[in-house]
Amino acid sequence: MKRREMIRASLFAGAAAAVRPPLSAAQSTAMPSELTPAQSGVDASKDLSAPGWKPLFLDEHQNETLIILSDLIIPATDTPGAKEALVNRYIDLVLAAESSEAQRSFLNSLGYLDGESIRRYRAAFRYLKREEQDDLLHALAYPRTASGWSGEADATPDLGHAHFEALKQRIATAYYNSQIGTKELGWDGAFAHGPYEGCTHPEGNHK
């Protein structure tokens, strides 16, 4: 949302507030810049689905890789998955605003995925067959356990798993904070759910 629109939105919010302020008119009104967009009533939920969307940070290859990866990690089932939730677009938006360290860390993880893919299949991740993508993710998704021979835990850090977890964390956060993800968790879209009933089990039988 453009700054001018934000100011307008907050002016309307101010007009509505005049209906019944709980405090006396002695209150000074806030300057628009002193409200967060949320406090001004800005609804940014449609921003990412705007036509003509282009990534702010990711290049085309990275973006396409992220779309495929996100859809493998959270696929459409009987409910929509990460691709439909435009998880790639949200991650791109956040990355564009983050520190160069955070940006580099994300690209390192995405690059590791391509590196492993090229090492194993001689092609970048996005060009693999679906089964190959699945095999590769499966190899990274679970932490390496200790080798049975020495009886000691593997001292080298499980780099592949760490990169996988970093990417998965981003994707899962983006998905479950999206409108689609919120619905996936079963939220009915209403607030004010009280009263809180707590435990309703008979004494000593909490199952």
Partner 1 sequence: MSNYLFLVEDPLQQTYDAIVVGSGATGGWAAKQLAEAGLKVALLEAGRAVTPKEFTEHMPAYKLKYRDHSPEIVRTRPIQKQCYACMEYNYEWFVNDLENPYSTPAGKPFTWQRLRILGGRSMVWGRQSYRMSDNDLKAASRDGYGDDWPLSYADLAPYYDIVENYVGISGAAEGNEMLPDGKFLPPMKMSCGEIRLRERVKAKFGYTVTIGRTAILTQNHKGRLQCHYCGPCERGCSTFSYFSSPFTTVKDALASGNCTLITNAVVSQVNMDNAQNKASGVTYVDRLTRQVKEVRGKTVILCAQALESTRILLNSSTREYPSGLANSSGALGHYLMDHVVGGGASGRLADFKVLPDANEPARPNGIYIPRFRNTPTSGKHPRFIRGYGFQGGAGADFNFDAEGYGASFKKAVKEGVYSISMGAFGESLARWDNYCEIDRGLKDAWGIPALRISMTHGDNEHALMEDASATAAEMLEAAGAKDIKVQANVEMPGMAIHELGTARMGTDPKKSVLNPYNQAHDVKNLFVMDGASFVSSACQNPTLSMMAITVRACDHLIDRFHKTDV
Q: Which of 9, 40, 83, 106 binds partner 1 (CB under 8 A)?
A: 40
CA distances from 203 to 107, 196, 197, 199, 207 (A): 54, 18, 15, 10, 11
- Residue ranges in the chain assigned as alpha helix (H): 3-17, 60-73, 87-97, 100-121, 130-141, 159-176, 179-184
Tokens in use for 202? Answer: 């008979």
Q: Which of 29, 49, 108, 147 binds partner 1 (CB under 8 A)?
A: 29
Using CB under 8 A, which of the segments 60-68, 115-123, 147-155, 168-176 binds partner 1? 168-176
Quote the least distance from Cβ 100 to partner 1, whole Å.
Answer: 13
Residue with Cβ nearer partner 1 (55 or 149): 55
What is the C-alpha end-to-end distance of the chain, expressed in Å? 48
The closest of 179, 167, 173 to 69, measured between CA atoms, is 167
Quote the least distance from Cβ 15 to partner 1, whole Å.
Answer: 10
Residue 192 makes contact with partner 1 by CB under 8 A: yes
What residues between 75 and 114 interact with partner 1 by CB under 8 A?
75, 77, 79, 81, 90, 93-94, 97-99
d(CA 181, CA 177): 6
What residues between 105 and 164 interact with partner 1 by CB under 8 A?
134, 137, 141-142
User: Any idea what DSSP says for residue 144?
Assistant: P
Using CB under 8 A, which of the segments 14-22, 55-63, 112-120, 146-154 binds partner 1? 14-22
The closest of 134, 143, 148, 147 to 162, measured between CA atoms, is 143
Quote the least distance from Cβ 42 to partner 1, whole Å.
Answer: 8
Residue 72 makes contact with partner 1 by CB under 8 A: yes
Quote the least distance from Cβ 154 to partner 1, whole Å.
Answer: 18
Q: Which of 5, 7, 11, 27 binds partner 1 (CB under 8 A)?
A: 27
Residues whose CB is less than 8 angstroms from the CB of residue 6 and which lie 6 or more positions away in sequence, other chains included: 32, 37, 40, 42
